[in-house]
Amino acid sequence: MKYVPREIVDEVNVTPVHPLVNFGYLVGTVVLATLAIYVGLGVVGAQLATRMGPEAEGKIGNVIFENVFSSMSLTTEGTDYEYLETLADSLKSDALKQRPDLKLHILEESAPNAMVSAGGYIYVTQGLLDNVESENELAFVLAHELGHYEHRDNLSSIGRSLVLLSLNSALSASGVRLPSFLTGSMGLANLHYSRDQEQKADVYALEIMNARYGHVDHTLDFFKRLNEDELDLGIADQLLEWQSTHPLTESRIEYLEDLATSRGWAIEGAPTELPNRQ
C-alpha cells in the first residue's frame, strides 16, 4: 500500500467553542447555583427557626457554644451566679418552659451586655452585674433576652447557618461530616435583631416585670442612666457596645412607658434591692 500524505484539516480533539463563551457559561451557572442555594437556605432557615423542636434546638445551641463562646472566660459558680440563675428561671414565660433549659454564663467582660444564643444559652457580662443598681433593672435585661429567646429571634438571626448546622447534626449520626468552613463560626455569633424584634422582646420583659413586681418602676433606669452618660467618654464606649447589640433608644423607652400607661400598670413602686454583694 502506498503512503499518501494527507493534511489534517478537522480539529477533532478541540471542541469548537469560544473560550469566552465557555467562561461566561461557567460563571453564569456557578453564580445562579450559588444564588439559588443562598435564597433556598434563607427560606429553609427561616422555616426551621420557627419550627425547630427543643431537642434539635438544644443540639444546635451546644454546637454554637462549643464554636463561639466556650473559649471565652466564663463563670458558672458563685453566689452571683446562683442568684442570677434563680432570677432568670423565675422570669420564664409558660411557653419558654417547653424549650431547652436556660444555661446561664457570666462573661468576664467589663462592658455591660447580655445576650441569648440558641438552645437557651444566656450570657451576662460582669460589667452588667456591676452597673445595675436594683434587681428590677437586672431582671428587665434578663427578661428582654428571654423575650428574644421565646420569640426565637436568636434562631432566625443565624438563619442560613442554622440549616447547615441542623444538616450537620442530622448527618453526624451516619458518620458524614460537612466541611468545617460550612459549619464553622461563620455568623454564629450574629445576634443583631431588628427594631421590631427588640420591641417585642421589650414588651415581653415589661409584662413579666409587671407580673413579678406589681409595677414597672425602675426597670428602665439602667438604660436611662446609659443614655444620660452618653457624653462621658468612658461610658460612651460601653454604651456603643451595648447599643450595637441592643439599642434601647429614647423612642423605645417612651414606647414602653406609653404601653405601661395604656395597660394600666403601676408606674411607681419601690425598687427591689439586689442581694448584698461584696
Partner 1 sequence: MDLLVILILLGVGYFIGNRRERQHYADIKRREKQTLHVPIMSWGAKQDLPYAHESQMFVGSVVVANDYFKTFSAGLRNLVGGRVTVYETLIDRGRREAMLRLKESAIEWGASQVLNVRFETSNIAGQSQGGMGAVEVMAYGTGIR
Q: Which residue ranges make up the site for partner 1 (CB under 8 A)?
A: 3, 5-8, 11, 13-15, 17, 19-20, 22-23, 26-27, 29-30, 33
Q: Give 276's strand partners.
A: none
Which one of partner 1, Zn ion, none is in contact with 22 (Cβ closer than 5 to 8 A by kind)?
Answer: partner 1
Distance of CA 35 to CAs 28, 30, 61, 123, 193, Å? 10, 8, 27, 35, 24
Smallest distance from the beta carbon of 85 to Zn ion, in angstroms?
Answer: 20
Residues that bind Zn ion (CB under 5 A): 198, 201, 246
User: Could you please report the per-residue DSSP string of 225-236?
Assistant: HHHHGGGSHHHH
Between 17 and 211, CB nearer to partner 1:
17
Cα 161 to Cα 190: distance, rounded to the nearest angstrom:
10
Which listed option, partner 1, Zn ion, none, makes contact with residue 188 (CB within 5 to 8 Å by class)?
Answer: none
Could you say which of partner 1, Zn ion, none residue 172 binds, taking C-beta under 5 to 8 angstroms by partner kind? none
Shortest distance (Å) from residue 65 CB to partner 1: 33
> Which entry of partner 1, Zn ion, none binds 19, CB below 5 to 8 A by partner kind?
partner 1
CB of residue 176 to partner 1, shortest distance in Å: 20
Kindly state the smallest distance separating residue 20's Cβ from partner 1, in Å: 7
Grid cell at residue 186: 461563620
Least distance in angstroms from the C-beta of 7 to partner 1: 6
Q: Would you say 248 or 260 has its CB closer to Zn ion? A: 248
C-beta of 163 vs 248, nearer to Zn ion: 248
| C-alpha cell belonging to residue 55 | 431537642
CB of 18 to Zn ion, least distance (A): 55
Going by DSSP bridges, is the β-strand pair 103-107/121-125 parallel, antiparallel, or unpaired? Answer: parallel
User: Which of these, 57, 42, 241, lies nearest to 149 by C-alpha position?
Assistant: 57
Decide: 123 and 115 in contact? Cβ < 8 Å. yes
Nearer to partner 1, 20 or 173 (CB): 20
262 binds, among Zn ion, partner 1, none (CB under 5 to 8 A by kind): none
Instruction: From the list Zn ion, partner 1, none, pick the one residue 246 interacts with, judged by a Cβ distance below 5 to 8 Å according to partner type.
Output: Zn ion
Other Cβ atoms closer than 10 A to 147: 26
Q: Put residue 29 in one of left, alpha, beta given phi > 0 → left and psi -120 to 50 → alpha.
A: alpha
105, β-bridge pairs:
123
Are the C-beta atoms of residues 177 and 171 closer than 8 Å to each other? yes
